[in-house]
Structure 1
Amino acid sequence: MTIDTRLPALAAVYLFLAGCGAAESSEAPPPPMPVTVAAPLVQEVVDWDDYVGRFEAVQSVEVKPRVTGYLRSVAFTDGAYVRAGQTLFTIDARPAQAALDQSAAQLARAEATLINARTELARSQTLAASQAASTEEVEQRRAGVRAGEADVNAARAAVRAQQLTVGFTRVTAPISGRVSERIVDVGNSVTADTTVLTRIVSTNPIHFAFDGSEALLLKYQRQRAGASNGTPVRIKLQDEPTYVHAGRLDFVDSTIDTGAGTVRARAVVPNPDNFIKPGMFGQMQLSGSQPYRAMLIPDTAVVTDAARKVVYLVDKVGTVIARPVVLGPLTGNLRVIRSGIRPADRVIISGLQRARPGEKVVPKPGRIPPPGPPEGTPGTAITSAPSSTASPVR
Structure 2
Amino acid sequence: MNDARRPPAAVLAVTLLLALGLGACGKHAPDAAGQAADVDVAEVVSKRVAEWQTYSGRLQAIERVDIRAQVPGTIVKVYFKDGQTVKKGDPLFLIDPRPYAAAVERASAQVAAAKARAVFTTADYARAQKLLAGNAISKRDFDDRFNASLTATADVKAAEAALTEAKVNLDYTAITAPVDGKVSRAERTVGNIVAAGYSSPSLTTLVSISPIYADFDVDEQTYLRDLSQVGQREVTVRLGLATDEGTPRTGKVASVDNQLNNTTGTIRVRAAFDNPDGALVPGLFARVSVGAGAQHPAILVDDRAISTDQAKKYVLVVDDKSKAQYREVTLGNLADGLRIVDTGLKPGERIIVSGFQRVHPGDVVHPKVVPMSGENDPVATR
Instruction: Give the TM-score normalised by the residue count of structure 2.
Output: 0.69
Aligned CA RMSD, in angstroms, stands at 4.5
CA displacement, residues 203-247 of structure 1 (integer Å, 9 cap, x when unaligned):
11122233x3xxx42112221361357332121333x33433222
Change (3 A) 1:383 1:295: farther
CA shift, 1:254, in A, is 3.2
Decide whether the 8 Å contact of 1:311 with 1:347 is kept in 2: no
- Matched pairs, number: 332
Distance 2:334 2:171 in 1: 61
Change (3 A) 1:313 1:72: closer
Counterpart of 2:210? 204
Change (3 A) 1:124 1:301: closer
CA shift, 1:336, in A, is 3.5
Change (3 A) 1:274 1:131: same
Residue 253 of structure 2 corresponds to residue 254 of structure 1: no
Change (3 A) 1:333 1:68: closer
CA shift, 1:122, in A, is 1.5
After TM superposition, list the pairs within 5 Å mapping 1:1-394 onto structure 2.
42-193=46-197, 194-210=200-216, 212=217, 216-224=218-226, 226-228=228-230, 230-238=235-243, 240-257=244-261, 262-279=266-283, 281-296=284-299, 298=301, 327-331=331-335, 335-338=339-342, 347=349, 349=351
Q: Percent identity?
A: 30
Change (3 A) 1:330 1:116: closer
Decide whether the 8 Å contact of 1:40 with 1:368 is kept in 2: no
CA shift, 1:151, in A, is 1.0
Distance 1:67 1:269 in 2: 37
CA displacement, residues 262-304 of structure 1 (integer Å, 9 cap, x when unaligned):
544332221112233223x344141241132213254699899
SS of the aligned residue for 2:114 comes to helix
CA shift, 1:63, in A, is 0.8
Decide whether the 8 Å contact of 2:306 with 2:313 is kept in 1: no
For 2:173, give the aligned amino acid.
T
SS of the aligned residue for 1:233 comes to strand
Change (3 A) 1:150 1:326: same
Decide whether the 8 Å contact of 1:205 with 1:270 is kept in 2: yes
Instruction: Give the TM-score normalised by the residue count of structure 1.
Output: 0.67
For 1:274, give the aligned amino acid.
G
* Runs of at least 5 residues in structure 2 that lack an aligned partner in the other structure: 1-40, 363-368
